Structure 1
Amino acid sequence: MTPPEHKLFHHEAMKTTFFLRLCGEDESLLKGIASEAFHLIGELEQKLSRYAEGGDIHRINALQAGETHHISEESHACLLTALEAYIHTGGLFDPTLGSLIDHQKQQQAGEVPRPLGQLIIHPDTPAVTCVEPGRIIDLGGIGKGFALDQLARFIDGWDIDGALFSSGASTHLAVGDVSWPIELVGDQYQSHTMLHQQALSASSFDIQGCHIVHPGSAGMAITEVSPEKNPHKRIWAYSQAAAFADAWSTALMLMPTAEIAQTPTTENQLTAVHLEQADGLHLISAQA
């Protein structure tokens, strides 16, 4: 289907390409909005990436027992969002598994490291306290979606009809009065959906691969999950917020189909799920 008339801008950050599709007639205005938006993404990457020396997450991961680090409002909001996703996914989305991700990603020899240690995210103050070191925060499963949500907040009030924000081809957020056609391309099947004032995020072995680890079994990798229990090859999660769509798409890859069908859905968390299995694409609608 044909998308609405728009201007396309792109920017490399967070190890992906961000795309901004902005609707409006004033091209100069749209260019200015895109420039400021990309600057915002750059600032977020410095704060949220665990590899950015001097950034909030990098400094949190270096904390010793009893130490507290005061962080930016954006990092605090992202951590609280990640904690909320952890709770709603029953712990399947865990943003503190950096050491497990490294072990799987780098194919390290030896026993899979157990997630040890404890951090306290202060709810009312932008600060994190280390009770016991060992937890390595990695926001790769939610940071890009969170960045899209921040872009939506940034353009609120600008004189544009609508926009579609994308991080790579995996996560999209539609804002404004415009609907956007999104292709759902799986390994064997494909379809499309119209995205309107909501977010959509995809996960699969091909998209995230070794970045998906199972926190409930000492870091068992997704490739070790029984295909009989998890026959889906690709999952698309819908939510009102891109951060939650991002986190849920990862968590759902670790869940059997029957469990996905019974997962409660809410407006601000998970609203619907598309999944690809051997017999085609299936839509699991939002439940009360």
Structure 2
Amino acid sequence: MTPTHTFEHKAMKTTFKLRLQHQDKKQAQSAATCAIDLIDEIENKLSRYRAGSDVWQINHMEAGQTLFLSELCYDCLCLSLEASAQTMGLFDVTLGRQIEHQKRNEDGQPPELSGQLAMVPNRPAIHCNEPGREIDLGGVGKGFALDRVRELVRDWDIESGIISAGASTHLAFGPQEWTIGLSGKNETKDVTLRDQALSASGSGIQNEHIISPAGHQEAYRHPRVWVLHESAAWADIWSTTAMLMTVDELGAHAGQLAGLFVENPETGGVDTIPATR
């Protein structure tokens, strides 16, 4: 049996854990070192709290200014735009000011939406038409990082493993199966990951920081949701969005996912959401 080597690294306000299977521990260590460097690079580009990061610079743009972006930030923003289209606008990374207001549990109404940003066609750049919008990639950044790490460690001939961003997002790759428990209030349901990602979102985390541009963010639909997808970034996107959807809406989108589960607020159990179309 191929041995599993475990490595940990703190970044993005969580602990990343890499469990890599390889006969050679030194090979696994080298792969993990490069993966950790990549995670740090992604955080340095995508964090809104890192002065000088791409996202920090976007959030400080003035009207008429154009900013050229790193490949990492550009790819993540393009993915986020695609996600906005697929989720009918419920996933929106330009709500940074409202998200921060919610996280800090500040008094009063959240800041009104204002400003306009636009991606520059055919160039890795963004233009500020009017200041006011702020980017927050917290709903996709960890999954985006896991997807990139998977590509990197495979280049190091790591054929199987599971990489995690805290307890919220896991990405398994290769032939090995990994069992993860979905813990509701009164029930735990085990799911098996093989070449799949699992992402969880729930209420009561960072002052219920998931914000809906549709205006119904004041009441989450579910205590907790879990999404299975081949991509960790998309699992993150859909678990974030699913918190704001009704059960009927979830059923309408479940066919796009490898698995969709919600905690039942009445029983505390974990319900599987079937596709309804």
Residues 1:67 and 2:65 are matched in the alignment = yes
Among 22, 25, 28, the residue aligned to 1:24: 22
CA distance in 2, matches of 1:274, 1:105: 25
Among 197, 202, 213, the residue aligned to 1:204: 202
- Offset, 1:160: 2.3
Deviates more, 1:159-168 or 1:51-60: 159-168
Structure 2 partner of 1:258: 248
Structure 2 partner of 1:173: 171
1:144-186: per-residue Cα shift (whole Å, max 9, x none)? Answer: 0000011011122322230111000010111112211111112
The residue correspondences of 1:124-163 to structure 2 (distance < 5 A) are 124-163=122-161
Among 221, 225, 235, the residue aligned to 2:219: 225
CA contact (8 A) 2:254 2:273 kept: no
- Offset, 1:209: 3.9
CA distance in 1, matches of 2:143, 2:130: 29
Structure 1 segments, 4+ long, off by >3 Å, are 206-209, 285-288
Give the TM-score of the pair, scaled to structure 1. 0.90
Residues 1:276 and 2:263 are matched in the alignment = yes
Structure 2 partner of 1:182: 180
Report the secondary structure of 1:103's partner residue: helix
CA distance in 2, matches of 1:115, 1:57: 18
Residues 1:240 and 2:235 are matched in the alignment = no
The root-mean-square deviation of aligned C-alpha atoms, in Å, is 1.8
Cα 1:80–1:58 shift into 2, 3 Å:
same
**Long gaps (5+) in structure 1:** none
CA distance in 1, matches of 2:192, 2:205: 22
CA contact (8 A) 1:272 1:286 kept: no
Q: Percent identity?
A: 45
CA contact (8 A) 1:271 1:286 kept: no
Cα 1:175–1:285 shift into 2, 3 Å:
farther
Aligned residues: 275
CA distance in 2, matches of 1:163, 1:286: 29
